Amino acid sequence: MAGSVPSPLSARSAWEADAPTLVARSGTHAPRRWPRRAGAYELTRFISAGGMGMVFEARHRFGGERVALKFMDPDARYPQKEARFSREIIALRSLHHENTARFVDFGRTLDGLRFFAMEYVAGVTLADLVAQGGPLPARRALSLLRQLCGAMAEAHGAGIAHRDLKPSNVMVTTRVRRADWIKVIDFGLAKLPGISPPDESTLPGIFLGTPGYAPPEVWSHAGAVEATGDVYAIGLIAHHLFTGCAPPDAAEALVHNSRRVIADLERYAPARLVSVIARCLSTEPSARFADAAALAIALPTA
């Protein structure tokens, strides 16, 4: 009918259809043009690219909220990328801890690209923090570890295992309470309760997690990576914060050579923490702390 108000969907589609593009560049992906508009969001800059997704800073068209918008990369050659993307949305929607990136919205562009929005965290990753300033003082490192354990304790209590914890998946901001404040991000490999993940061990070229931070059971295919696998990764993150050193390389992880890790920690960390981290890095998952809540209780107070 002439003069009628267009539906929100048609208005959104028209707004998307005439959108300009921006160029996404990263060290692991070829430069490519990306639509600047997605649903009610306008992309402002490219942030990063991973194995299955690309992340942009964006703003809500009406409310102006600043968010991080993650798209499922249509060119990613991962057999279960649709299921993985859906699981990440489910995981984030179920988590509400103040140290976990807050879920905001999800949708699909006019061209069919899936995306979801989460809170934008203005800061640096733990990896960048250590790269810029070197090993952290014990009090500061322990504060960050307690926050990390708090976020993961909620996830583990809900039956969710992150399965890709590493310094680059933990953001640090000083905008909250004028002190270090972390936000755990990237639940793209999360294991959810009641949903069996696909068996990646039989897929050629597929590795679950990040070499160096993955627990020994990933290399040996001795079993599924559960909360105890996250505990192992937290142990290596602690090592990184206290020493500024990278974790063992893939070959060392394969045989679980933790002697160097513990020796490094003994030079930098309080003795009572060294024994806690040594337990996190146990070869047998059953010998580690059962989950992040148990680890948080064991962490020294200062």
Cβ of 38: how many Cβ atoms within 10 Å?
A: 25
When computed from its CA atoms, the radius of gyration of the chain, rounded to whole angstroms, is 20
Q: Taking Cα atoms as reference points, which of 289, 38, 22, 47 lies closest to residue 185?
A: 47
Question: Which amino acids are annotated catalytic?
Answer: 164
> How many helices (H) does the chain have, and how many strands (E)?
10, 11
What residues pair up with 69 in beta bridges, in sequence order? 56, 117
Gap between the terminal Cα atoms of the chain = 70
Q: CA-based angle 293:295:301, to the nearest 5? A: 105
What residues pair up with 54 in beta bridges, in sequence order? 49, 71
Are the C-beta atoms of 34 and 48 separated by less than 8 Å?
no
Give the whole-angstrom CA distance, residue 210 versus residue 217. Answer: 13
Buried b (16+ CB within 10 A) or exposed e, 59-83: bbeeeebebbbbbbbeebebebbee
What residues pair up with 118 in beta bridges, in sequence order? 68, 103
